[in-house]
Structure 1
């Protein structure tokens, strides 16, 4: 196992345990996390984002489905699995109150590691898929 994979796996383990201290030990103090919700730079912004996310989905965990790695980069496909139990700020800035709905969201992380720390973590997911799972008022029609 290369260093990038080992660091990324420790990040995922800490994320699943909701262990902020362990998670931040994997992340560069100058690191950047990018997701549809926005950009977090550094430990304090990342911690703020994750605490808000863990409040919205207190039982959330990342379930790895596929992974690939290079010397300094990992690419992981996963499912974010949890229950919407608290306020969640949508990518457009609207706050969605707890729905109690289960979520199984397909995601992709691209992670870059330098000197044993994550310097860039990019999360991709289908925002419509998430909204559909959270909202009973969204109806999709097939043509």
Structure 2
């Protein structure tokens, strides 16, 4: 039987290969994927979330640099995400940022909860301001009504 860490490593390989079917094999059918930009429930929504990121960053790559070794469930990993912004990037409010050709390097972490050899909840965290700043955007003044 596969360990939590085996599953996490298979997921990382599928992500780095941009292999949507391989990614979905790691998730239970009713899994929940929580990201800074939203929550996806089930295979269709999870696939859509990954597709949006791969469309925006076709060379996206995740490099694990720390795994919490004395913890099985959740499996906790710290990552460095890299990629070049080539395609439209969907913002949480529905707007899209067209490709900027800017390279990103983000620090991220995630917690992966496993049941019956499949991911049931995957919580991913990264600093959206760090991402937007690297894409050439920053904070804007909020107008009060």
TM-score normalised over the length of structure 2? 0.89
Counterpart position of 1:28: 28
Counterpart position of 1:6: 6
Matches within 5 A, 1:90-109: 90-109=91-110
Shift in Å, 1:90:
2.0
Residues 10-19 or 60-69, more deviating = 60-69
Instruction: Extract unaligned runs of 5+ from structure 2.
Output: 140-145
| Residues 86, 98 of structure 1: 8 Å contact kept | yes
Shift in Å, 1:60:
0.1
Shift in Å, 1:65:
1.2
Q: Distance in 1 between matches of 2:112 and 2:29?
A: 15
CA RMSD of aligned residues (A): 1.5
| Residues 110, 124 of structure 2: 8 Å contact kept | yes
The number of aligned residues is 137
Q: Deviations over 1:62-90 (max 9, x none)?
A: 01111115232111110110000001112
Residues 57-66 or 70-79, more deviating = 70-79
| Residues 82, 104 of structure 1: 8 Å contact kept | yes
Q: Distance in 1 between matches of 2:103 and 2:55?
A: 14
Shift in Å, 1:94:
2.7
Counterpart position of 1:51: 51
Counterpart position of 1:120: 121
TM-score normalised over the length of structure 1? 0.90
Shift in Å, 1:21:
1.2
